[in-house]
Amino acid sequence: MTVLQLLMLGASAFFAYKIYEHVQTLDDKQDQSNNDAYEPQNAQENEQDDTQRSVDAFSPFSAEELVQKADEAFENGDAKKALAFLSEANVKMPKHAEILFKLGFISAQVEDNEMAIRYYKESLDVDKNDEFVHNSLASVYRAQGEFASAKMHLNDSLALDENNPFTYYNYGNLMLDMKNEDVAKEMYVKALELNPEFEQAKEELAKLQKD
């Protein structure tokens, strides 16, 4: 997943509200279907067909097209529009790791950390071995001051790939927040060993060395 692919999400307030209404309608239909479980099998199948038709009728775009439109919207600076496209894509293609990851990423960009955590966790439910999701989730937990959870996910990310300089940089930032400058230095040094041109790591290490 490229950096460009990470940048995306959004929707106007009205469009986002219409998505919410639509999802609620689908939930209500599902609840009614569960309550009517005693009905003949063909009646249940008709209900499922109606629900699927409702999803398909929401817009003429496929889930893949909606993801592309979300990418374009986010790149153009419209995070809300991107989130709306991704939310609809998530209805049409549920439990898709990339869609959930992008929903989490953009939610974090608009400072909705609770939703970001929710979507990242759902993405990990689909693919627990995605180091980028672990890294991203750690960043949100760090922003929330939940350092133990952040550290756990950074460790999970390193267990999947011990040669990712970005993970060590994130770890260094977390250690600074936890007032552990010695370990922070070690993490920035490791990040630079893996990527000598990592400017942010250079800057943070230089600050610590001045002190």
Q: Report the distance separating Cα 187 and Cα 210, nearest Å.
A: 17
Amino acid at 146: E
Q: Report the distance separating Cα 166 and Cα 172, nearest Å.
A: 10
Q: What is the pLDDT of residues 104-129, one digit of tens each?
A: 999 999 999 999 999 999 999 999 99
pTM assigned to the model: 0.71
Domain ranges of the chain: 1-96, 128-211
DSSP class of 10 = B
Q: Which residues contact 190 (CB under 8 A, 6 or more apart)?
A: 165, 168
CATH of domain 128-211: 1.25.40.10
Q: What is the pLDDT of residues 56-112, one digit of tens each?
A: 446 789 999 999 999 999 999 999 999 999 999 999 999 999 999 999 999 999 999
**Sign of the torsion angle spanned by Cα atoms 59, 64, 65, 66:** positive
Q: What pLDDT is attached to residue 31?
A: 42
């979300």: which residue's tokens? 70
